[in-house]
Structure 1
């Protein structure tokens, strides 16, 4: 089972996404800001960081950059309602995917499914 770390400051959206992803077979740990994600990244292993870009304290781009240093094999997907930050995210974290709000839950799950299907997980010898 793939593990997802979700960072989303909007309570309703966070709960909505968590439920949808868990129903789709993913294990989800959800936090309400980037700074709350860092301790989890230090103690747990995740396959995907799913993060809003615009959040208080630490934005999703900075979180993704920190996460990349801590867990270089972890995939990153940004969700955002601000078109202007999409370009900034793409430049800052070029391997990340970006999904613009509003989106259908079905589209989010399909995009995450595709992310895991298209990228092979490194094997450790």
Structure 2
């Protein structure tokens, strides 16, 4: 089963996203900040890091950079509500997909499916 590490600081959004991905057949571990994701990346294997970009303590871009050091095989996808942040993410993490809020859950699941379909 494909394992996803979800880092999203907004509780309602985190619950909403995790449920949609689990309903689509993915295994999801959700955390509320980037600093909580690092120890998980160090001890467990994840196929995808799905991270909000704007979070307290450690933003999603820094988290993605740390993820690439700790677990280079883990793919990265960002979700954000800020267009300017999307541009920064594209410059600093060129291997990552960016999904801008608001989006429909169907779009999120399709993007995640696409990431793993292209890897197959």
TM-score band w.r.t. shorter chain? over 0.9
Aligned to 1:11: 11
For residue 119 of structure 1, report the CA deviation from its aligned partner.
1.7
Partners in 2 of 1:112 and 1:95 — Cα distance?
Answer: 14
Say if 2:25 is the partner of 1:25.
Answer: yes
For residue 115 of structure 1, report the CA deviation from its aligned partner.
0.5
- After TM superposition, the score normalised by the length of structure 2 is 0.99
Partners in 1 of 2:80 and 2:2 — Cα distance?
Answer: 22
Unmatched runs of 5 consecutive residues or more in structure 2: none
For residue 73 of structure 1, report the CA deviation from its aligned partner.
0.9
**Looking at CA atoms only, which structure, 1 or 2, has the larger radius of gyration?**
1
Structure 1: which 4+ aligned runs deviate by more than 2 Å? none
- After TM superposition, the score normalised by the length of structure 1 is 0.95
Aligned CA-pair RMSD: 0.5
